[in-house]
Chains A and B, each alone.
Chain A
Amino acid sequence: MAEQGSTVPRAGPVGGDVVRRHHAATRLWHWINFAALLILLASGLAIFNAHPMLYWGTDGAYPEDAWLLVGSVGDAGYLQIGERTVETTGVLGYWANEKGEMRRWAFPEWSILPSNSNLAIARRWHLTFGWLFALGLGAFLVASLVNGHLRALLPGRREMAPRHLLGCCRDHAMLRFPRGAEAIRYNVLQKLSYLAVIVVLIPVMILTGLAMSPGIVAAWPWLLDLFGGRQSARSVHFIVAVLLVLFFLVHILMILLSGPLNHLRSMITGGYRLPKERGR
């Protein structure tokens, strides 16, 4: 393979060519999962509003036992993590809705589903779309095993060499994206982050969700031991949700920086136009 990117074999695709980038299964799952994640996140924040505290261990019901807490005192909202407290007025704990009315829920109206923070309806959204999320991941993983997508995401030994990893980080930091034939394949940072989302973060979301179910943990008590108790599972569920939001933000940023229309098309039709090599 042309590591330098300067001598691309004539037979292969070159910059400017449209290549088939994403499998149909990947494209279908990507958009289903995007919708499911959005609804799960917003309804999850509404569920959190019903008891805006997180604990470690089996039990937890009082603010003094919480490691994370969103609250309000007088005209100020605050976020407390461990011993540290940050004022979050206007964003968390005490904020104005669209009509200018002040509210004391943890997460604001624009971020939650339903916007009135009704716990019963939030749970209905969450528990219905949880099925789509879990079954969708399952189907995508099976399809990806069959069509070779998962194997393509596994980094090779040379890619995992510290020098290569560092080089890849440097390229990302300098916004130097691969061009020509090199852009067909994922680079090692993409592989690692997509793998982390698919085989770690999303499965942990599903398992911690199940670990909060008093019915499921009767059948699978090991879930409680795996996460260190029901309230720990609830905390991990929340932390991983934050990690998924961070992934989403970086993902969007990278898409915007490296040809958003081209990426959008490749995730809809599968066709991706290879960026032209430098100097061509």
Chain B
Amino acid sequence: MSRRLLTRRRLLAGAAAAAPATLAGCDRLGASAAFQDNFLSLGEWLNYRVHRLLIGDALAREYRPEDVSPVFRTNGNTEPTDKTYVAHEKSGFAAWRLTVDGLVARPSAFTLDELRAMPARSQITRHDCVEGWSCVGQWTGVPLGQVLDRAGLLPQARFIVFHCADSVFGTDYYESIDLADAFHPQTILAYGMNGAPLPRAHGAPVRLRVERQLGYKHAKFVMRVEAVATLSGIGRGRGGFWEDLSRYEWYAGI
């Protein structure tokens, strides 16, 4: 055999080019919306179902007061400039109301004092940002389940949507969770942080804490809680601001 098709040199060159070529191919595939929807959503689909089976009602770890991070990092809006919000903040949220509507028997509006008068829960938990960092903080608020019970959730309701006062790129922020998370004991509408009223940078007057998911699910500056049967009518139908804008996972438990 004097003329071999597969020489050592050719093999080396091929092998060295294989990895970058594979990545370049993946890069092109991954940019296609159809591929994102049909293939790259497999992980999320599996994670959501397996987590629901595996985790059940398990509680997120709660930490000791000495574990609280000295400076809790912020992300997203820290100073909403929207007119209604600025006016509410100036008046100490005196005229602010939390609207609860959608698929509920008794659409309601709660003042901040009414929320504070309901049975409260305090928890010291770890906040994991999708970017990778974590901070520990203490949160005080009313369990979302209680608020939903007051309004009387209708049997058709399957998701709870949070409409927020702050806008990002001109769109008001919104998020949504399923009923398993909505009625989880650690899922609270927090009005207090580290023993003080919830600071503006962290979503005053009320933010969502949904402790078994990543930070972007924890909607800040919540104005309205809406019960829906499907997420298709919310934004572009993926259930949240970042989900619709950049295809972040709706289920952010990992």
Answer whether residue A60 sits at the interface, using C-beta atoms and an 8 A cutoff.
Answer: yes
Answer whether residue A138 sits at the interface, using C-beta atoms and an 8 A cutoff.
Answer: no
Complex CA–CA separation, A48 to B248 (angstroms): 16
Answer whether residue B231 sits at the interface, using C-beta atoms and an 8 A cutoff.
Answer: no
Complex CA–CA separation, A120 to B60 (angstroms): 24
Answer whether residue A161 sits at the interface, using C-beta atoms and an 8 A cutoff.
Answer: no
A59→B247 contact, CB < 8 A:
no
Q: Which DSSP category, helix, strand, loop or mixed, fits chain A's interface?
A: helix
B40→A219 contact, CB < 8 A:
no
Answer whether residue B197 sits at the interface, using C-beta atoms and an 8 A cutoff.
Answer: no
A124→B43 contact, CB < 8 A:
yes
Which A residues are in CB contact (< 8 Å) with B39? 128
Contact status of A261 and B8, CB under 8 A, knowing A213-B254, A214-B253, A230-B134: yes
B: which residues have CB within 8 A of A?
6, 8, 11-12, 15, 19-20, 22-24, 26-27, 30-31, 36, 39-44, 46-47, 51, 54-56, 58-61, 63, 67, 69, 71, 73, 126, 128-136, 211-214, 242, 246-249, 253-254
Complex CA–CA separation, A118 to B69 (angstroms): 28
B254 to chain A, nearest CB (A): 4
Closest residue on chain A to residue B44 by CB atoms: A127
Quick one: which of A39, A59, A124, A213 contacts B134, CB cutoff 8 A? A59
B26→A260 contact, CB < 8 A:
no
Q: Which 8 A-B pairs have the closest CB atoms?
A: A215-B253, A127-B43, A128-B43, A51-B132, A213-B254, A61-B133, A124-B40, A61-B73
A52 to chain B, nearest CB (A): 9
B41→A124 contact, CB < 8 A:
yes
Quick one: which of B19, B55, B67 contacts A218, CB cutoff 8 A? B55
Complex CA–CA separation, A215 to B248 (angstroms): 16
Chain A: interface residue total (CB-CB under 8 A): 50
B61→A221 contact, CB < 8 A:
yes
Closest residue on chain A to residue B246 by CB atoms: A120
B69 to chain A, nearest CB (A): 5
B217 to chain A, nearest CB (A): 10
Which B residues are in CB contact (< 8 Å) with A260? 8, 11-12, 15
A124→B247 contact, CB < 8 A:
yes
Quick one: which of B26, B41, B129, B253 contacts A216, CB cutoff 8 A? B253
Closest residue on chain B to residue A260 by CB atoms: B11
Contact status of A113 and B23, CB under 8 A, knowing A119-B131, A214-B213: yes
Complex CA–CA separation, A261 to B36 (angstroms): 37
A128 to chain B, nearest CB (A): 4
Which A residues are in CB contact (< 8 Å) with B19? 38
B46→A218 contact, CB < 8 A:
no
A139 to chain B, nearest CB (A): 16
Which A residues are in CB contact (< 8 Å) with B136? 58-59
Answer whether residue A178 sits at the interface, using C-beta atoms and an 8 A cutoff.
Answer: no
B185 to chain A, nearest CB (A): 12
Which A residues are in CB contact (< 8 Å) with B67? 58-59
Complex CA–CA separation, A85 to B211 (angstroms): 36
Complex CA–CA separation, A279 to B73 (angstroms): 69
A47→B132 contact, CB < 8 A:
yes
B56→A219 contact, CB < 8 A:
yes
Would you list 8 pairs from A and B whose C-beta atoms are within 8 A, ordered by A residue? A42-B23, A61-B129, A114-B26, A114-B27, A119-B248, A131-B42, A217-B60, A219-B58
Answer whether residue A71 sits at the interface, using C-beta atoms and an 8 A cutoff.
Answer: no
Which B residues are in CB contact (< 8 Å) with A118? 246
A121→B12 contact, CB < 8 A:
no
Contact status of A216 and B246, CB under 8 A, knowing A61-B135, A119-B131: no
A215→B213 contact, CB < 8 A:
yes
Complex CA–CA separation, A214 to B216 (angstroms): 13
Contact status of A120 and B43, CB under 8 A, knowing A51-B132, A256-B12: no
B129 to chain A, nearest CB (A): 7
